[in-house]
Amino acid sequence: MKIQVNLAACLTALCLFPACSRGAEPIPVEQAQAMTQELTKALMGELQSTMAAEGPAAAIRVCADLAPEKAQAIATEELTVRRVGTRVRNSKTNTPTAAEREVLAGLTPEQPTFSGQVDGHEVFIQGIFIPNAMCLVCHGEREAIPAEVRDALAQRYPDDQAVGYAVGDLRGALIVERRR
Protein backbone atom coordinates (compact mmCIF):
# COMPACT_ATOMS: atom_id res chain seq x y z
CA MET A 1 0.00 0.00 0.00
CA LYS A 2 2.83 2.34 0.83
CA ILE A 3 4.35 1.87 -2.65
CA GLN A 4 1.04 2.76 -4.32
CA VAL A 5 0.72 5.93 -2.25
CA ASN A 6 4.26 6.98 -3.15
CA LEU A 7 3.64 6.23 -6.81
CA ALA A 8 0.44 8.26 -6.72
CA ALA A 9 2.29 11.09 -4.98
CA CYS A 10 4.97 11.06 -7.68
CA LEU A 11 2.40 11.12 -10.48
CA THR A 12 0.56 13.96 -8.77
CA ALA A 13 3.80 15.91 -8.42
CA LEU A 14 4.54 15.49 -12.12
CA CYS A 15 1.12 16.88 -13.00
CA LEU A 16 1.41 19.79 -10.57
CA PHE A 17 4.88 20.87 -11.59
CA PRO A 18 4.81 21.62 -15.31
CA ALA A 19 8.40 22.84 -15.25
CA CYS A 20 9.36 19.16 -15.24
CA SER A 21 7.37 18.46 -18.39
CA ARG A 22 8.72 18.62 -21.93
CA GLY A 23 6.65 21.71 -22.80
CA ALA A 24 8.48 23.76 -20.18
CA GLU A 25 11.92 23.17 -21.68
CA PRO A 26 13.37 26.43 -23.02
CA ILE A 27 13.11 26.95 -26.75
CA PRO A 28 16.57 26.47 -28.33
CA VAL A 29 17.48 30.09 -29.08
CA GLU A 30 19.83 29.38 -31.99
CA GLN A 31 17.23 27.18 -33.69
CA ALA A 32 14.48 29.75 -33.10
CA GLN A 33 16.65 32.56 -34.46
CA ALA A 34 17.44 30.50 -37.54
CA MET A 35 13.73 29.86 -38.12
CA THR A 36 12.78 33.55 -37.77
CA GLN A 37 15.68 34.64 -40.00
CA GLU A 38 14.72 32.10 -42.66
CA LEU A 39 11.10 33.26 -42.66
CA THR A 40 12.05 36.95 -42.69
CA LYS A 41 14.53 36.50 -45.54
CA ALA A 42 12.06 34.49 -47.63
CA LEU A 43 9.25 37.01 -47.14
CA MET A 44 11.37 40.10 -47.76
CA GLY A 45 12.77 38.59 -50.96
CA GLU A 46 9.32 37.64 -52.18
CA LEU A 47 7.88 41.05 -51.26
CA GLN A 48 10.64 42.88 -53.13
CA SER A 49 10.35 40.77 -56.27
CA THR A 50 6.54 40.88 -56.32
CA MET A 51 6.48 44.66 -55.80
CA ALA A 52 9.02 45.14 -58.60
CA ALA A 53 7.22 42.83 -61.03
CA GLU A 54 3.55 43.41 -60.22
CA GLY A 55 3.31 46.44 -57.95
CA PRO A 56 2.55 46.90 -54.26
CA ALA A 57 -1.13 45.88 -54.39
CA ALA A 58 -0.11 42.46 -55.68
CA ALA A 59 2.43 42.12 -52.87
CA ILE A 60 -0.39 41.98 -50.31
CA ARG A 61 -0.83 38.32 -51.15
CA VAL A 62 2.76 37.62 -50.05
CA CYS A 63 1.96 38.55 -46.45
CA ALA A 64 -1.57 37.20 -46.60
CA ASP A 65 -1.03 33.86 -48.34
CA LEU A 66 2.66 33.10 -48.69
CA ALA A 67 3.74 34.00 -45.13
CA PRO A 68 1.61 31.31 -43.46
CA GLU A 69 2.74 28.75 -46.06
CA LYS A 70 6.41 29.62 -45.51
CA ALA A 71 5.92 29.49 -41.72
CA GLN A 72 4.46 25.99 -42.05
CA ALA A 73 7.28 24.91 -44.34
CA ILE A 74 10.03 25.90 -41.90
CA ALA A 75 8.28 24.44 -38.86
CA THR A 76 9.80 21.29 -37.44
CA GLU A 77 8.24 18.28 -35.74
CA GLU A 78 8.83 20.08 -32.47
CA LEU A 79 8.61 23.82 -33.18
CA THR A 80 6.23 26.14 -35.02
CA VAL A 81 6.52 29.80 -35.94
CA ARG A 82 3.68 32.31 -36.28
CA ARG A 83 3.25 36.06 -36.72
CA VAL A 84 1.45 38.52 -34.49
CA GLY A 85 0.97 42.27 -34.93
CA THR A 86 0.98 45.26 -32.64
CA ARG A 87 -1.88 46.59 -34.73
CA VAL A 88 -3.56 43.73 -36.49
CA ARG A 89 -4.48 43.37 -40.13
CA ASN A 90 -5.69 39.75 -40.02
CA SER A 91 -7.47 39.39 -36.68
CA LYS A 92 -8.18 35.69 -37.25
CA THR A 93 -4.53 34.63 -37.28
CA ASN A 94 -2.29 37.47 -36.13
CA THR A 95 -3.80 38.74 -32.89
CA PRO A 96 -1.46 38.42 -29.91
CA THR A 97 -2.74 37.31 -26.51
CA ALA A 98 -2.71 39.84 -23.65
CA ALA A 99 0.50 38.28 -22.31
CA GLU A 100 2.12 38.38 -25.77
CA ARG A 101 1.15 42.08 -26.03
CA GLU A 102 2.97 42.73 -22.76
CA VAL A 103 6.12 41.11 -24.14
CA LEU A 104 5.79 43.07 -27.39
CA ALA A 105 5.59 46.32 -25.42
CA GLY A 106 9.01 45.58 -23.94
CA LEU A 107 10.81 44.84 -27.21
CA THR A 108 13.19 47.48 -28.57
CA PRO A 109 15.71 47.60 -31.41
CA GLU A 110 18.39 47.12 -28.73
CA GLN A 111 16.49 44.21 -27.10
CA PRO A 112 14.50 42.72 -30.02
CA THR A 113 13.98 39.23 -28.57
CA PHE A 114 12.39 37.51 -25.61
CA SER A 115 12.82 33.94 -24.49
CA GLY A 116 10.77 32.54 -21.61
CA GLN A 117 7.29 31.65 -20.48
CA VAL A 118 4.22 33.36 -21.91
CA ASP A 119 0.70 32.08 -21.39
CA GLY A 120 2.04 29.08 -19.48
CA HIS A 121 4.44 27.76 -22.11
CA GLU A 122 7.94 28.46 -23.36
CA VAL A 123 8.34 30.76 -26.37
CA PHE A 124 10.97 32.65 -28.33
CA ILE A 125 9.73 36.01 -29.62
CA GLN A 126 11.56 37.99 -32.30
CA GLY A 127 10.36 41.57 -32.76
CA ILE A 128 9.66 42.80 -36.29
CA PHE A 129 10.66 46.43 -36.72
CA ILE A 130 9.76 48.34 -39.90
CA PRO A 131 13.12 48.18 -41.74
CA ASN A 132 12.55 50.60 -44.62
CA ALA A 133 10.13 52.71 -46.61
CA MET A 134 9.06 49.76 -48.78
CA CYS A 135 6.99 48.48 -45.84
CA LEU A 136 5.23 51.83 -45.48
CA VAL A 137 3.55 51.37 -48.86
CA CYS A 138 1.13 49.06 -46.99
CA HIS A 139 1.78 49.97 -43.34
CA GLY A 140 2.45 53.74 -43.39
CA GLU A 141 0.04 56.58 -42.72
CA ARG A 142 -3.30 55.68 -44.31
CA GLU A 143 -3.38 58.87 -46.42
CA ALA A 144 0.10 58.14 -47.82
CA ILE A 145 -0.74 54.59 -48.91
CA PRO A 146 -1.41 54.50 -52.69
CA ALA A 147 -5.13 54.32 -53.55
CA GLU A 148 -4.88 50.92 -55.28
CA VAL A 149 -3.18 49.47 -52.19
CA ARG A 150 -5.77 51.03 -49.83
CA ASP A 151 -8.54 49.56 -51.99
CA ALA A 152 -6.96 46.09 -52.06
CA LEU A 153 -6.39 46.18 -48.29
CA ALA A 154 -9.96 47.34 -47.63
CA GLN A 155 -11.34 44.54 -49.78
CA ARG A 156 -9.28 41.82 -48.08
CA TYR A 157 -9.18 43.32 -44.56
CA PRO A 158 -12.19 45.56 -43.86
CA ASP A 159 -11.13 46.00 -40.20
CA ASP A 160 -7.45 46.68 -40.97
CA GLN A 161 -5.57 48.37 -38.13
CA ALA A 162 -2.01 47.71 -39.37
CA VAL A 163 -1.30 51.23 -40.62
CA GLY A 164 0.25 54.39 -39.20
CA TYR A 165 3.76 53.00 -38.77
CA ALA A 166 7.09 54.70 -39.45
CA VAL A 167 10.51 53.24 -40.24
CA GLY A 168 11.91 51.74 -37.04
CA ASP A 169 8.52 51.12 -35.37
CA LEU A 170 7.72 47.72 -33.88
CA ARG A 171 5.25 46.14 -36.33
CA GLY A 172 4.81 42.83 -34.53
CA ALA A 173 6.73 39.65 -33.85
CA LEU A 174 7.50 36.12 -34.90
CA ILE A 175 6.74 33.63 -32.15
CA VAL A 176 8.47 30.27 -32.04
CA GLU A 177 6.85 27.72 -29.73
CA ARG A 178 6.50 24.00 -29.25
CA ARG A 179 3.75 22.20 -31.09
CA ARG A 180 0.79 21.68 -28.81
- The pLDDT tens digits of the residues spanning 58-110 come to 999 999 999 999 999 999 999 999 999 999 999 989 999 999 999 999 999 99
Provide the domain count of the chain.
1
Q: Is residue 22 included in any domain, yes or no?
A: no
Q: Is residue 120 included in any domain, yes or no?
A: yes
Give pTM, 2 decimals. 0.85
Q: Is residue 10 included in any domain, yes or no?
A: no
Q: Is residue 8 included in any domain, yes or no?
A: no
Domain that holds residue 40: 27-178
Q: Is residue 16 included in any domain, yes or no?
A: no
Q: Is residue 84 included in any domain, yes or no?
A: yes
Q: Distance between CA 92 and CA 125 in Å, rounded?
A: 19
Q: Is residue 44 included in any domain, yes or no?
A: yes
Q: What is the pLDDT of residues 114-159, one digit of tens each?
A: 999 999 999 999 999 999 999 999 999 999 999 999 999 999 999 9
Q: Is residue 108 included in any domain, yes or no?
A: yes
CA torsion through residues 25, 30, 36, 39, sign: negative
